[in-house]
Amino acid sequence: MAIETDLLILGGGTGGYVAAIRAAQQGMKVVLVEKDKLGGTCLHRGCIPTKAYLRSAEVMDTLRDAESYGIDLKEKGEVNYGKVVSRKNEIVDTLHQGVKGLISKNKITYLKGKGAVLGPSIFSPVSGAVAVTFDDPDREEEIYVPKKLIIATGAVPNSLPTLPVDEEVILSSNGMFQLEALPDSMAIIGGGVIGVEWASMLNSLGVKVTVIEALDRLVINESEAVSKELYRQFIKRGINIELNQPVKKAEMKNGKVLLSLEEAEEVLTVDKVLTAIGRRPVVDGLGLQNTSVKYTEKGIVVNSHYQTSESHIYAIGDCIDTMQLAHVAMKEGELAVEHIVKNTSEPLAYHNVPRCTYTSPEIASVGYIRETVPEGRRVKIGTFSFGSNGKALINGNAEGLVEIIRDETSDDLLGVSVIGPHATELISEVSTAIYMDASPIELGEAIHPHPTLSEAIQEAALDTYKSAIHK
């Protein structure tokens, strides 16, 4: 017997559970299907656990620098990786219980199982019914017939043909969370967000790290000024970086990994390797072949309202070809539900979504960077160094900069890049400013408390008019 519902969501990650809550708030009867744990990659194998590790790394860095603050420690601090992991697990469990509580509070039917989309059948004259199978062998398959379906199945780590992942020596980001002890040395293949975050954390916890990037700079989607500053600070910290270096060959010998790089004469020998070369959308095994929903290796094809080629079936998050960020998936979930309820929604301006990298130093940006400003637009660039910011000096972390782009003709705020202390918190001010259509002069003339790191944003905004006070 088929069970009817208003909305069924495949995937209980950030996009899926947020969409479920928003739909329930609108009075819809919602079924949420998740094969693993509510919260998905972000909560269990991504955003939250990595930031918990990075916080432990930050504390270790502070202990190492204690003397520079006038604090003499009697004993040298040591990393207890087991406690680092336990702390992470406690944080993840607290948030996991919170998500489960929200699902219960909003009277959402949660099914821990695997869903497959059915084509037209005796259950429904159109595609979109979902067969749910459960791990419990005593529970039979159930068929749900929703009026609307949202697919939010996320993505999984990519791998290289030369470095097949075994999650023991050659690891994906998932396998990193299974480590019971830190290796002495590690190579990280990929200098994007995932790669540099792990590099920063591992270096702070005492691992000898080498980052191998096939392109000519780290974090290629950030401005060149930011990439150069990250490279400089990583080298200063003792992180080895190999740019323009595709991995040519990998061998296992005596429990070690031997990596031959395209342009390097010497073979790099490490204990473990992390492949951090992006993530691919989960589209296989969902039953999409039973429907006319279009999809490619980049993900499910949707319009600006997240409708697939079958208008009653939507897709959001990492399984579509947009920015693979948790806060993007959340917003896409809200907008998909808004379209379902109201038959309209405001398309998301992806270039104005804030982007964050939680390395030390932190990186954050929103809007355009120098390299992506549309051709023909006349712009002014304002910059300000944290080396001239009182709060940064007080905090003992005065390296980095703020870069602001102003449209010279319209006076619009086009983009902001920050590399330095608490960049991922500072970016919210300028993200809101762009959303509210503020100009750089409004940012610059608004009173900022002193001493604060946010004054660096104020000064960079004023610098687009060549009127910065402290530059």
pLDDT single digits (tens) 26-70:
999 999 999 999 999 999 999 999 999 999 999 999 999 999 999
Confidence of residue 463 (pLDDT cuts 50, 70, 90): very high
Q: How far is CA 22 from the centre of its chain?
A: 22
How far are the Cα atoms of 34, 82, 136, 138 from residue 56, in angstroms, in the given order? 31, 12, 38, 43
Peptide bond into 451 cis (omega under 30): yes
Q: Per the structure block, which two tokens stand in for 406?
A: 């102003």
Confidence of residue 255 (pLDDT cuts 50, 70, 90): confident
The residues with which 112 forms a beta bridge, in sequence order, are 34
Structural domains in the chain plus CATH codes: 2-46+85-156+280-351 (3.50.50.60), 159-277 (3.50.50.60), 361-463 (3.30.390.30)
Q: Determine contact, residues 34/16, Cβ cutoff 8 Å.
A: yes
Q: Determine contact, residues 415/441, Cβ cutoff 8 Å.
A: no
Q: What is the pLDDT of residues 361-378, one digit of tens each?
A: 999 999 999 999 999 999
Q: Which residue has the tokens 């001239």?
A: 388
Phi then psi dihedrals of residue 68, to 5 deg:
-70, -15
Of 65-74, 224-233, 382-391, least confident by mean pLDDT is 65-74
Which of 96, 339, 448, 450 is labelled catalytic? 450
Cα dihedral value 294, 297, 299, 300, nearest 10: 10
- C-alpha 9/C-alpha 94 separation (Å) is 24
- C-alpha 418/C-alpha 424 separation (Å) is 8
Phi then psi dihedrals of residue 352, to 5 deg:
-105, 15
- C-alpha 351/C-alpha 367 separation (Å) is 5
Peptide bond into 449 cis (omega under 30): no
> Residue 122: its pLDDT value, please?
84
- C-alpha 420/C-alpha 229 separation (Å) is 9
Q: What is the pLDDT of residues 397-432, one digit of tens each?
A: 999 999 999 999 999 999 999 999 999 999 999 999
Compute the mean pLDDT over every residue in the chain, rounded to the nearest whole number.
96
Q: What is the pLDDT of residues 77-129, one digit of tens each?
A: 899 999 999 999 999 999 999 999 999 999 999 999 999 999 998 888 899 99
Task: Work out the burial of residue 245: count CB atoms within 10 Å of its CB; fewer than 13 is exposed, 13-18 middle, 19 or more buried.
Answer: buried
- C-alpha 259/C-alpha 211 separation (Å) is 12
Q: Per the structure block, which two tokens stand in for 77?
A: 């601090």
Handedness of CA 392, 397, 398, 401 (dihedral sign): negative
The residues with which 109 forms a beta bridge, in sequence order, are 31
- C-alpha 23/C-alpha 114 separation (Å) is 21
> Residue 77: its pLDDT value, please?
84
Cα dihedral value 338, 339, 345, 350, nearest 10: 90
- C-alpha 302/C-alpha 287 separation (Å) is 17
| 3-class DSSP assignment, residue 182 | coil
| 3-class DSSP assignment, residue 193 | helix
> Residue 151: its pLDDT value, please?
98
Phi then psi dihedrals of residue 451, to 5 deg:
-95, 130
| Annotation says 339 is catalytic | no
Q: What value does the mean pLDDT take over residues 143-161?
A: 95
Q: Determine contact, residues 212/162, Cβ cutoff 8 Å.
A: no
Start-to-end CA span in the chain (Å): 72
- C-alpha 361/C-alpha 244 separation (Å) is 23
Cβ–Cβ contacts within 10 Å for residue 301, how many?
15
Q: How many residues does the chain have?
A: 471
> Residue 266: its pLDDT value, please?
87
Confidence of residue 162 (pLDDT cuts 50, 70, 90): confident
Does the structure show a pLDDT above 90 at 237?
yes
Query: Could you give the angle at the alpha carbon of 293 between the alpha carbons of 289 and 294, nearest 5°?
Result: 95
Cα dihedral value 120, 6, 104, 44, nearest 10: 50
Q: Determine contact, residues 49/175, Cβ cutoff 8 Å.
A: no
Q: Give the residue from 159, 169, 177, 167 showing the smallest Cα distance to 47.
A: 177
Q: What value does the mean pLDDT take over residues 236-264?
A: 91
Confidence of residue 359 (pLDDT cuts 50, 70, 90): very high
Amino acid identity, position 165: V
CA atoms within 13 A on the CB side of 268: 29
Q: What value does the mean pLDDT take over residues 265-275?
A: 94
Pairwise pLDDT comparison (251 vs 202), residue with the higher score:
202
- C-alpha 317/C-alpha 403 separation (Å) is 29
Confidence of residue 152 (pLDDT cuts 50, 70, 90): very high
Does the structure show a pLDDT above 90 at 323?
yes
